[in-house]
Amino acid sequence: MCDLLTATGIAGVPDSYFHRPSVSDWLASFDLTPQSAASKQVILDAIFQAALARGSGETGIFGLRLQRHSFDFFAQELAILHPGHTSDAQRFRAAFGRTLFVHLTRRDTVEQAISYVKARQTGLWHVASDGTELERLNPHAEPIYDGAELRNCYETMMAYGRDWRGWFERENIDPLRISYDALSADPLEVLCQVLDRLGVDCNAANGIEPGVKKLADSTNQDWATRFRSEFDIA
């Protein structure tokens, strides 16, 4: 989704600019070296300004991908940067301006957990549409079914889903809800939905080709059948 939006040339350069829950990592990612006497608020302001510059790409729209595992730390630092506001939603607007929240989910959490565990085991996270590797974090290893590992990942992802839904409700945010399933089935249609909600020309999606393809194969299907049976999950 981030790459598709970037490819339009009018919707920013969305990425995981705050992926790691660490201010020192944020500083390093933007090549920032604050003065020793700088306050935490000054340091965070420099980081957020650098993120805005990189994530806008001179389009006037800033794109940011946030995952649940690092969200609480991000929200904590955002509260330090904008202490005068009483809610996360207000702090988002203070930091980024008018904000469209997009909630991307996967309908089948079992399949999501399997994809994650398999990627972690094999080291391969993304492949191009022609099958060539795009992102490998570890040397190749054969995937091995591990029910306990899958169950732990499944429960974690279920908790993440509950946390997101609870946060949107508490913050009175009605996000644009899209599913991984719809995105993988018709990426350009989903891209048009996002562009439309951003108030920019949906025709910018014309001619864009997704740069990745699904990694799921028969192994994923076999694991899903075994896992559902083993743990009695529908």
Name the residue among 37, 70, 34 with its Cα closest to residue 49: 34
Share of the chain above pLDDT 90, in %: 93
Task: Provide the mean pLDDT of the chain.
Answer: 95
| Fold topology of 101-234 | Rossmann fold (3.40.50)
User: pLDDT (tens digit, 9 = 90+) per residue, 107-143?
Assistant: 999 999 999 999 999 999 999 888 899 899 999 999 9
Q: Are 88 and 173 in contact (CB under 8 A)?
A: no
Average pLDDT rounded to a whole number, residues 3-26: 96
Q: Is the pLDDT of residue 210 over 90?
A: no
pLDDT attached to residue 111? 96
Average pLDDT rounded to a whole number, residues 78-92: 97
CATH 3.40.50.300 maps onto the chain at: 101-234
pTM over 0.85: yes
pLDDT attached to residue 102? 98
Q: Is the pLDDT of residue 213 over 90?
A: no
Q: Is the pLDDT of residue 6 over 90?
A: yes
pLDDT attached to residue 72? 97
Position 94 confidence tier, pLDDT thresholds 50, 70, 90: very high
pLDDT attached to residue 7? 96
Position 171 confidence tier, pLDDT thresholds 50, 70, 90: very high
User: pLDDT (tens digit, 9 = 90+) per residue, 26-82?
Assistant: 999 999 999 989 999 999 999 999 999 999 999 999 999 999 999 999 999 999 999
Please tell me which residue, 234 or 94, carries the higher pLDDT value.
94
SS (H, E, C) the chain: CHHHHHHHCCCCCCECCCCCCCHHHHHHHCCCCCCCCCCHHHHHHHHHHHHHHHHHCCCCCCCECCCHHHHHHHHHHHHHHCCCCCCHHHHHHHHHCCCCCEEEECCCHHHHHHHHHHHHHHCEEEEECCCCEEEECCCCCCCCCCHHHHHHHHHHHHHHHHHHHHHHHHCCCCCEEEEHHHHHHCHHHHHHHHHHHHCCCHHHHCCCCCCEECCCCHHHHHHHHHHHHHHCCC
Query: What does the alpha-carbon distance between residue 45 and residue 20 come to, in Å, rounded to a whole number?
Result: 17
